[in-house]
Every structure is written in structure tokens, then in C-alpha cells.
Amino acid sequence: MTGPAVPQPVTSCCGGRVHARTACVNGGRNKYAVAPRSKLRMCPRSTPCNGCASLTSGKASSSCGSAASTCTSRHSWPSKYQDLRECRVAPLRASEADEGSSSTVKIHYHRPDEDYKGWTIHVWDGAVRATEWESGLAASGIDQYGLCFLVPVLRDAPELHFIVHRGDQQEATGVLNLQESHEAWMVAESCQVWTSTAPDLALIAAGDLSKAEAFWPGREYIAFQRPVPTKPSTVHQSSNLAFYLHASSTASLELTAQGVVNAEITLPLDVPSGGLEGSQLPPHILEKFPHISSLGYVLLPRSSDVDIERLVQCQLALEVKDLNSGIIVRATGVQIPGVLDEAFAYDGPLGAEFKDSEVDLRVWAPTAQSVNLLLFDSPDPRTSPVEVLAMTKDMLHKGVWCASSGTSQNWNGLYYNYEVKVFSPATMQIETSIATDPYSRSLSCNGLRTHICDIAQDSNLFPADWSRLGNVKPRVSAPSDIAIYELHIRDFSALDKTIPKAKRGTYAAFSERGSACVEHLKSISDAGMTHVHLLPTFDYGTVNERREEWKYAEDVAGRPLEEFPADSEEQQKAVFAVADEDSFNWGYDPVHYGVPEGSYASIPDGSTRILEFREMVSSINRTLGLNVVMDVVYNHNLGSGPHGPHSVLDKIVPGYYLRRDLSGNVEASTCMNNTACEHAMMSRLIVDDLVHWVRDYKIDGFRFDLMGHLMLATLQEALTQIRSLTLEEDGVRGEDVYFYGEGWDFAEVASSARGVNASQMNLYGTGIGSFNDRIREGVNGGSPFGDPRVQGFATGLYHLPNGFDQGTREYLKGELMGIGEKVMVAMAGNLRNYRFVNRYGDTVEGKDAFWEGSGSGYAASPEETVNYVSAHDNETLFDTIMYKVAPTVTLADRIRVNWTAMAIIAFSQGIPFFHAGDEILRSKSLDRDSYNSSDWFNRLDFTYETNNWGVGLPGEAKNGDKWDMMRPLLADPALKPSREQIVATVEHMKTILSIRMSSPLFRLKSLQDIQDRVHFYNTGVNQYPGVIVMEVADLQGVRQLDRRFQRIVVVVNPTPLEYCEESEEFKEAYTGRKLELHPSLIAQEYDSVIKRSLAGEGTVSVPGYTTAVFVEHR
């Protein structure tokens, strides 16, 4: 996925995916509120918010406690998590309302601490004008109750949606029924709203049990925000405060003016000896939970009265009472993952364990009050269980529930669910949830039931010669030899008519020798591609696995989509009419991490998917000569809460596996339901799952979606365990497995706020790779969040402006020289400490490229850098170029720009990463986010007849604001490549890969190797901006790595004019030496222009829009 450049914005990119966290779900109080993805992979089953409580006249209406749902109102989301084009409406003052079409609503807001500075109201549906999150409507004044907001509303509006907030701190949320009232009263830290008269403030306790602002991070400690005075004149001395932990096994706790009632257990808590003001949680807790470092704490009694096992099965609440006044200073729910880890973390078997004819099932569920095993003899969800067994707790490991078939029963081949009775913070109730096993290894269709099968021992699930696959896998000598091709399983073959229809878009397609798609992949493998990165192949929830129920766009359109014009709206109308019911999705919506996705299998029920996935891996390894990388998405879950087919982890241990903020709301910065691998058992699940994929499916590498949201320790533990796997014991060489991912550092994990996360900067020295957004944005220009016309190093910046105002000529020259530094450092492996000469003539390190402290270079070694200019997110490389180059640039030259960008990636130190289709000029008809855009916009044609340009305007929801920019481009027949041009680009890809593989000098392994051998000319104050001249050489005094070439010179000239390198420095180095074009460039026949590149006496010249490689033979 794409990601933020330096400096990084607060939003992350998975290709321009900007993450939205909803504020308007169940009154803003629901712990499991999730927002649809505002740019990527939106959950197709999102429904309008039904949790926000309508306000009833004269009654307090609770806005918490209903089941989680997804709010689709975009104005309810803080804009820091939104598309930058959304919610940009200026706030409207009351005086601006049109008296003829509007009226005014009064909303009163009271704070016990009388701190009203900075509080505003965010309004949307029903308001005359929706506000922007950062600029809410200011209060009109303060009355005896508190703040008073005057909100102009439309006269015919049925209701008004609002949130009182200060920045991202939300305190009052509601939906006002305008047919019943035009006035409402709210109180901070209360989830009640009054609409008839103001409430009696003396009868309102300060607190909200639906929040969870207290923490139980270890056996002895309860942490919380230190109490604040109810008024500035009132001071609560810690000696006057009493603290209580209340528990209810029936979830019956209520907050009254007298305090928390209906508790079955109430434990008095002790103030630490140093008092509340000076208390600090112990270091081992703060290391694990740094985000609670500012909190105070109290102590649980050190006695046998504290039954942790019983308490964690209850609804819990912390109460703070002023003994002098009797006032309830604070009451809140309690987050318990810390104590669960300390008291119940477990490292024994989970899921199904097979012992001869016996099957043992175990599930970690320490908060469950009971767990039943429901056994089925059919995958059909309409059938009833054939047996229901009460599971028992493990005597040694109290958090684990067990059931065993014994030797008299045969459970192999059966299906099962767990029935879990447990308190759910999502609903504040004791729920009975039907769940699959988090450690499922096989499933029924659509993941509704877990299937019992022994994937490690059942020989029926092994392809031919499976046990020996580890011996014949294609190997690389070092990670820097890797070259990656990113591919979606369905894209690969869905529209390939050389594949049998039943196998198109499936695992089986990879075994179809002689097909267009397989032969294409084999050809680039032969040229030097080493790994194929498969977009999500685990069980995800956004494609129906029953093929017979899929719907098709052409059925909606009533005729073939090819018949509509190239710039028509009709194609996308038909596509998105069935987008949530068709066969396509990228799949970044995990349900079961450890099971192959069923929509790519011929039979979705049971173990067929296991065999066919393994057959795919075997074919890719053996036939295509490629290693297999899995795209894994451990940063979030598709589902949460106690009900629904996509919730798994959160049914088993509610509130544990998901990361929650200081108020108990589930974080959603990844798009929804962020997971918390800082918690021991979530971390363990990830580690176990990765080892499982390597050992049981012989996977060769992993790409981590939003890797920065995972803890670095989790990945390092996984890598350690995987690298301990051996060919002799496990059938795989774990030492060959490579990790890389998106190291974006943003939102709640930024700057290691939740522990040391796997962000770009933190990966230094780990050997784990991360996507290098510096080279992507340097080469292409701009960022995924800006105007697509912003130009970059390869797309005409300064030399050939496209008409879009990007600054003065002098500014653009300086910008190009600065961007050139970023690209140079990236071509040298993007190393933090690589030294080079910058545009001012100073020798600086990579971390200071472009400007001092930029952090542009961040890696310790080249294996930690994954260089790319395109990926599945955002526009394809071809589409990006269409936007950015000047209108006068011909299609032939635009294609050469494409070639230049690909060559920069191939010839850079580090690991080159190519998006499937870069080599066939792939277009998605300018779609910037095709996660759900069907086969139509995601088409790959490996017969080379089309690149898919001009197949209609892309989806309006993601692209509609740029349709006017797109129409003239898509409608221009001169911009559609011919088959000859596509084939030439394929040949170009094979040529640059073969050049990379021709010399180890392109694949250096360390900072020292690179510092000794990589040097740049055309630098300093007198450089010609926009051209890179890179030398990679085995000079005297260094170990000779290349037996064939002594020196290699790469000249990258993306400008329209010929460039001649004839600096004194270059002349001194090369006078008397014989340089010539690389043999692969001499032999190729697709590009006559590059053959005009010349090497003279101490000079080289290269035509415009060309990247040439010169060599000096030994």
C-alpha cells in the first residue's frame, strides 16, 4: 500500500486510503463503533447508524448500550481521518441562516468543572450548513446552565445530528427529534440528554459506565485519570476520597446520584503510600502500556478476597467518592487486557489438537462465564448441532476451556461453533455469542463454522511430492536479491480465456501451463523476478464464497460494457450496482487469519481450499520458479461485537483483542476494529499464524498491511520462530522467509505511543523491510492525498510543466534538485547513514536528503528498503503518468516515462517492487481506489490486446470529484496504447530485470558495500537538475564482487532533451576507460532510441526520456 511521505501526514495511506473513525455511532459511546473506509475497502454491508438515540420530550434518552452498527454519515467523522476533500464546509453562524427556510435550535452543555474553553458543536444532518470538524460552531454565550449553542436548522428537517467536542475529545452526542423539541440539555460525562426542561444538576453523578476510562493493567493496580474538582472552588483531597471496584455478573451496574448500585462484589481500593498526586505506575506496566503513563492508580486489597478469575467475568466499574460531600467524583468502566495477560496468558495448544484418533479442542476465553461446544455433521448453516457439550476449564490454565472427543468418538470431518456466555463492552450486557474458533484451520462456506481436519497429517490434503517442495524451492542468496511482483489472485486469470472457465480467478489457474497468464508470469520470472506477492488470500468477509450467488454488472447494464463510450458513466453505474454482491474485492477484511479464502477454491465448504492453495504454492514454486509472499492484515478485524458472522475474536474475549482509547472506544485508524498486539494473546495469535503459514503452506514471505500498527516485538518474535524452522524437521527453510510491510507511523500508535511499533524509523537494523514512499513520491510527484497533477522527477517537474500551478520557475528548479536528492538516496538503498554530495555541494547523510532532518533515508541496510512507484492502491503507474505529464507529451514519450520509472526501481539498491501490470501499461481507467471495482476496472490482459485504458469513468464515490479532469483524457483515442507498445513494455521489464540480475553490483548487501561502491555525479550547485548519474564500481581497495563488470554507470534522463555527462569529475574518472551499453540493451530490439546512447572519451550522452546502463568489462 502507499503511504505518507516525509514529513508524514496524520493520515495513513494504503494507497490513499484515509482512515475514518466514526463519532456518530450509538451516540458516540459505543465501544465498537467503526467507520467505513473513506477511500479504501469500505465494508459493503455498512448500515445507517441506528444507535444514536433520538431525544424524546421530557425524558432522558440514553445514547449507549445498543448493538454496534456502522454509521455512514461522513460528517460524523473527524476530518483528520477523512478524505481531505470531505467535510470542507465553513461553519455557519446563527445570523447567517435564511429566515424563510430555517429555524434555530438551542443546545445547552454543562461541565461540572466549568472549563468551557475551546468547546464547539459539530452539526450535520438537519443543519442549514454542516460544520467542519476542526472549526465547529462556537457557543453564543454562557448562561446559568453552561454553554448555549444556537444552531440554524432546516424547517423541514426531521432531526439534527450533533457532537459537542474540543478537538477530538467528544463529550456529548445526540440526535434531536425536531418534530418534538428545538431545545436540548446535556452534561459532560453523562450519556443522557434532556429535551423538555433542564435537569437537576445536584442529582447527576459525574461519570459514565458505558465508557471505560479506568484500567486494570496488573493484578494489584487500577489506573485512572486523576479526579478533577467538580468546580474550581472545590478541591478533592486524596485523603477525602474513597475508591471502589464494583462487579456484576449480570451486567446490572447502574450509576445514580448515590453512586454505583446493583453490584454483587464491591472491593475498597487503597491509595498508594505516596498519595494520588505523586503516584506512578511501575516501569513494567508503563513499558507495556505507555499510553496510560499520565494516569494515577489505586491498589487492590492484598488478600484472598480478590478473586480475579471471577471478577474478569463481570461487568466492572470504578467509583470515586468524596467522603466529605458524598459527591460521586467519577464512575467509569474498566479496561482489563493488562490483568488478563498477567493472570491468564497461555502458551499451550489452542484450536484443534490431534492425537491418534482423539481430537482435543481448546479456546482461550478467560472472561467467559460458560462455553459450550456445538458439533455439526454438516456445513449447512440451516442444520442443528448433533451434540452440545459443556466445555470445562483447564485446571492449570484457568483462561482455557477444553473439550475432547475421547477415543470412542470420531470428530474428524465434523464442524463446530463455540457458544460463549460473556460480558460484552460493546452492548454493556451479558451476551451469548456463537463463534468460530480463532485458531480455525478449515471452514465451512463463508466461515460460518469451523471444520475439523488435520491439515498437518492428512495426506489427502498434500499435492504431489509436497513433502519435498522445500528442497526444490527457488532460492536467493540474500534478501537484496529479491524482486517482488504484486498480484491479486482474481486479477491474474479472471478474464483469461486461455484458462478453463471454471478455473478462472481461482487458485487452480496458477497450474494451467500454456495459458497466457501463466506463461507471462513465467517469462518475467525467467528474467529475474523472484517473488510473487499475493494480495489477501486468508479468509476475508467481503466476497460471498457461493459462486452461484454472484451478480454481474452486465446483467444490470443490459448489454456488454464494452459498448459504452470510453468516458461514459454507465460502466461504473453497472459495476457498483452489484459491487457488494459480485466476485471481486481486494480482501483486506480479515475474518479468519489462518484459513485460505474460499472464493478462490472450487468448493468453499471444508478442506478443498487447503489442497488447492497448496497446489497453487507448489505450481508457483516449481513451474514458475517464484517464491510466494502472503499479504497479511493483522492490524484490524472486519467484524466486532457479540453478533454477526464476521466477528470472531471479539465474541470470544470481548474488548481484549481490539485496541481501545482512553475512554474505551475501539480505535479505527486502520479503517475499523484496530487489533491490539501489545496484548499477549493477540501477539501470540499473530506469531502462531505466521509460523502456521510457513510450516503448513510453505509460504516464503509476508507483506504486512499497515505494519506500523503492529508492535515490533511481535514481528521479531515471529521472525525468530520462523527462522528456527528447518528443512529436516519442518520441511522448510525458515531462514529464507522475508518480512516487509507498510511502516507508516500515524494515529494512536504514532511515535511508539502504544509500545515500540513496526514503523519505518523503528525498523532500523531489524532486517525487516518497509515500503519506501520517498522514491515513489519523488519519481511520480505529489502524494496520494494531493492533486494528481503535481509533477515529480520523472513526470516533467520544471522541465515540461503541465499547466497546473506548482510554483515559480525558480522554485520548481530548487524543488526538482531537492527531490533528486531523495531519489539518489533511494537508489543507494535509502540508507540513513549513506554519505553523498547534496545540491549545495555539502557531504551529508541520507537522513538529511532534501533538507536537514528530513528522515528521507531511514534504513540500516538495503534489505530494509522496498522501492516502488506503484502498488494496488491509488492510480496505476500508467494512469499516474497520464495525469501528470504535459498535454504536449506524446503517448510514445509517456510510455518512455513509464519505462524510466520502472528502470529507477530496478536499478536501485534494495528490493524492487512492481505492481502487476506495470509491464503491460496497466490502466484502471484512472480509478484511484479499485478495491471493490470488479473485474471490469481491475482487468489484466496477458494476451496484450488491451491495457484497460478508457473503459469508462471510474466509480463516482471515490473518483467523482475528478471526473471533469478525467473525461478528456479517457476520451482521447491517441492515449490508448497499441498491442505493439504493450509488448515493447513487457520486453522492457524483462530487460531491466535481466540487467539487475547480471551483476551483484545492483544487489549490494550492506551500508559499507554501498558506501564503497555507489557514487553519484551531476551533484552540487552546478548540476543539471533532473538527471541522475550513478556509478556502481568495484574500485581498487574493495573486495571485487563482479567477475564480469568492473564499473557500471546508470544515467537516468527523464527530461525531454538529450543529456551529456562531461563534468571534470566524470572525465577524470573515465578518461582512458572503455564504457559501452550493457549487453542486454545492445541485444534488445524494442527500443531504438536507447541505442543512441553513447560513451565517449570521459563522457556519456543519453537521449531524453531514457535510462541507459553503461558497463566497463573486466
Catalytic residue among 705, 745, 941, 1034: 705
If 0-12 CB within 10 Å is exposed, 13-18 middle and 19+ buried, where does residue 1078 land? buried
User: Active site includes 742?
Assistant: yes
pLDDT value at residue 170: 81
pLDDT value at residue 15: 31
Residue 371: strand, helix, or coil: strand
Q: Give mean pLDDT, residues 664-681.
A: 97
For the segment 531-586, what is each residue's pLDDT rounded down to a tens digit?
Answer: 999 999 999 999 999 999 999 999 999 999 999 999 999 999 999 999 999 999 99
For the segment 696-745, what is each residue's pLDDT rounded down to a tens digit?
Answer: 999 999 999 999 999 999 999 999 999 999 999 999 999 999 999 999 99
For the segment 948-996, what is each residue's pLDDT rounded down to a tens digit?
Answer: 999 999 999 999 999 999 999 999 999 999 999 999 999 999 999 999 9
Which single residue is written with the C-alpha cell 458439533? 375
pLDDT value at residue 546: 98
pLDDT value at residue 225: 85
8 Å CB contact between 469 and 698: yes
If 0-12 CB within 10 Å is exposed, 13-18 middle and 19+ buried, where does residue 1090 land? buried
Question: Cα 238–227–430 angle (5° rounding)?
Answer: 115
8 Å CB contact between 821 and 839: yes
User: Active site includes 705?
Assistant: yes
Which single residue is written with the C-alpha cell 507471462? 520
Catalytic residue among 86, 220, 742, 1034: 742
Q: Distance between CA 601 and CA 496 in Å, rounded?
A: 17
If 0-12 CB within 10 Å is exposed, 13-18 middle and 19+ buried, where does residue 1027 land? buried
For the segment 431-480, what is each residue's pLDDT rounded down to a tens digit?
Answer: 999 999 999 999 999 999 999 999 999 999 999 999 999 999 999 999 99
Share of the chain above pLDDT 90, in %: 82
DSSP H or E segment with residue 392 = strand 392-393
Q: Distance between CA 1087 and CA 706 in Å, rounded?
A: 39
Which single residue is written with the C-alpha cell 528474467? 527
Distance of CA 963 to CAs 17, 82, 105, 938, Å?
A: 19, 20, 38, 18
The type of residue at 1038 is V
Q: Distance between CA 582 and CA 580 in Å, rounded?
A: 6
pLDDT value at residue 278: 76
pLDDT value at residue 101: 67
pLDDT value at residue 191: 63
For the segment 391-437, what is each residue's pLDDT rounded down to a tens digit?
Answer: 999 989 999 999 999 988 999 999 999 999 999 999 999 999 999 99
pLDDT value at residue 1008: 97
Per-residue confidence band for 236, with pLDDT thresholds at 50, 70 and 90: low
pLDDT value at residue 87: 28
Q: Distance between CA 373 and CA 375 in Å, rounded?
A: 6
Phi then psi dihedrals of residue 556, to 5 deg: -75, -45
pLDDT at 804 over 70: yes
pLDDT value at residue 227: 61
Residue 468: strand, helix, or coil: helix
Q: In what order do the strands lie in the sheet with 392-393?
A: 351-355, 358-364, 400-404, 392-393
